[in-house]
Amino acid sequence: MSHGNTTISFETLSRAILNKMGVTRDIADDIALRVLNYFGFDEEIIDNVLDQDDRRMFYFLQDIQLLRTHWEEAILPNGRTWRVFYWALNVPKIQEYASPPREEAAVEIGLYDSLPEDVWSREVA
């Protein structure tokens, strides 16, 4: 599940966490470092490398759409099904959340401000 070898930088992931979670810069940097220590230069890792605390953090990051999961199934020689879970960086969402928020509120125009000037003049008949 690769996006054309798109590498997410520490700064990009930290900014996405900062913008999406609203935490301090230090906390965003700490989370980004923890995540990237697992992923390195890959976009996908196997679940069994995670410790319990980091797995909980990964589930939270999945809830806010920064990470995704998927699995593969294999049939073992004894006939049992073995499921292998993977975590993947959600590259499009990370890039979206890392970009500066749009200034839509500043562009909003009030109803009266949007009316043409001649509306305010009265003609006496």
> Any idea of the CA torsion for 5, 65, 31, 8, to the nearest 10 degrees?
20
> How many domains does the chain divide into?
1
Q: Measuring CA to CA, which residue among 90, 122, 64, 95 is closest to residue 1?
A: 90
For residue 110, pLDDT over 60 is answered with yes
Tally of CB atoms within 10 A around 98: 20
Examine residue 59 and state whether it is found in any structural domain, yes or no.
Answer: yes
Give pLDDT tens digits for 64-106. 999 999 999 999 999 999 999 999 999 999 999 999 866 654 4
pLDDT in tens, 12-60: 999 999 999 989 999 999 999 999 999 988 889 999 999 999 999 999 9
Terminal-to-terminal C-alpha distance of the chain: 73
In this structure, is residue 4 part of a structural domain?
Answer: no
In a domain, 44, yes or no: yes
Q: 3 lies in a domain?
A: no
In a domain, residue 33? The reply is yes
Which residue segment(s) compose the domain that 48 sits in?
10-120
pTM exceeds cut of 0.85: no
- Residue 1 is assigned to a structural domain of this protein: no
